[in-house]
Amino acid sequence: MPVSLDRLLVVGISSRALFDLEVEEAIFRNEGLEAYRRHQLDHENEILKLGAGFALVRALLKLNALTPDQRLVEVVIMSRNSTETSMRIFNSIKHYDLDITRAVLSGGASLAPYLQAFNVSLFLSLHEDDVQAAVNSNVAAALLYQKPANALEELDQIRIAFDGDAVIFSDESELIYQTQGIEAFEKHEHENALKPLPEGPFARLLKALSFIQNSFRNAQGSATPPIRTALVTARSSPAHERVIRTLRAWDVTIDETFFMGGVAKSDVLAAFKPHMFFDDQAGHCDRASPLVQTGRVPLRGEAGNSKSN
């Protein structure tokens, strides 16, 4: 029977997000596809350096070693490379002993049509068009910033931090704030405090992580789960109540929650030390990215800028 990925947390990651391919990106941009092809073939046996998404992928794959009877995570390498130029990627995966066996090599075509085929729960890339296409296809996706100096620091737990509105929750309330101001936003949230917020693009991922956490708690009693999550939101009182009630309705526990009330998120994130922080606001991402690995979550329908790999 075919292998099913339905019950797994499936992460799709581009080759340029997993490994540092910025030199190769510059060759592709400045000299063209043939020069890029020659470079990859000539350097086929040179191991690539680690990219922006490497630490998170390595950490997530370690979950499988903790549950030898049940695989929890699958990672699919997704690249615009051709089959011919992909050997360097596979050689690097083998060198770093990453348990990645599945790949999509699209030969320059968009990767988005293949996300549903592999049941991808999260897609990470430095290719803006592919991230936008994934978001438009209702797949949780983030455009990664280049990694900060401490991105590969080993942590005892997998740590993932999320923004709230337009990430875990829908952008319904955020649009009210942006178009009508803070008073209208607070009035709307007070009037709808008992009504759960609609799901945002990362709700499915958060629920999957919560399920994994609970599985470890149930199997090991009081043992500390290997995943720790944080919600870092610009909301403050009185807009906190709807968030808390929504998470209760979803039966999801967030380990740490920070209602920032407009205070910059960067210092809290530096203290939490996530493998990845997801936010939809470019300003928050720009301030966080020098301190922690950051991924920006585009809104559906945003225009993107084309990049390679």
Contact 245, 194 (CB under 8 A): yes
Assign residue 54 a region (left: φ > 0; alpha: ψ between -120 and 50; beta: otherwise).
alpha
pLDDT score at 309:
44
* 255, 229 contact by CB (below 8 A): yes
pLDDT at 305: 42
Question: Does the CA dihedral 106-109-111-117 come out positive or negative?
Answer: negative
Helix (H, G, I), strand (E, B) or coil at 204: helix
pLDDT in tens, 241-286: 999 999 999 999 899 999 998 899 999 999 999 999 999 999 999 9
d(CA 172, CA 166): 8
CATH class of 158-292: alpha beta
Tell me, what amino acid is at 116? Q
Instruction: Determine the average pLDDT of the residues in 199-206.
Output: 95
pTM of the model: 0.91
Helices 182-191, 172-180: inter-axial angle, 10-degree rounding: 140
| Region 166-178 average pLDDT | 91
Across the chain, what does the average pLDDT equal? 90
At 28-56, the pLDDT tens digits run 999 999 999 999 999 999 999 999 999 99
Beta strands at 141-144 and 294-296: parallel, antiparallel or unpaired: antiparallel
| pLDDT score of 117 more than 50 | yes
CA distance 62 to 275: 13
Residue 183 has what pLDDT?
86
- E runs forming strands in 59-155: 73-79, 102-105, 122-125, 141-144
Residue 6: which of 146, 180, 167, 204 has the closest Cα?
204
Class of domain 9-144: alpha beta
Chain centroid offset of residue 293 CA:
10
Residues annotated as part of the active site = 163
Q: Where do the structural domains in the chain lie, given as residue ranges? A: 9-144, 158-292
180-184 CB contacts, 8 Å cutoff, 24+ apart: none
- Band of the pLDDT at 221, cuts 50, 70, 90? low
Q: What is the pLDDT of residue 151?
A: 66
pLDDT tens digits along 55-99: 999 999 999 988 888 889 999 999 988 888 899 999 999 999 999
Share of the chain above pLDDT 90, in %: 72
Query: Cis omega (within 30 of 0) on the bond before 238?
Result: yes
> Residue 4 — pLDDT band, cuts 50, 70, 90?
low
- How far is 28 from 11, CA to CA, in rounded Å? 26
95 burial level (CB within 10 Å; 0-12, 13-18, 19+): exposed
Task: Specify the higher pLDDT residue, 237 or 31.
Answer: 31
Task: Give ∠ CA 103-107-112 in degrees, rounded to 5.
Answer: 65
Cβ atoms of 290 and 148 within 8 Å: the answer is yes
pLDDT reported for residue 2: 63
Q: What pLDDT, on the 0 to 100 scale, is given for residue 67?
A: 84
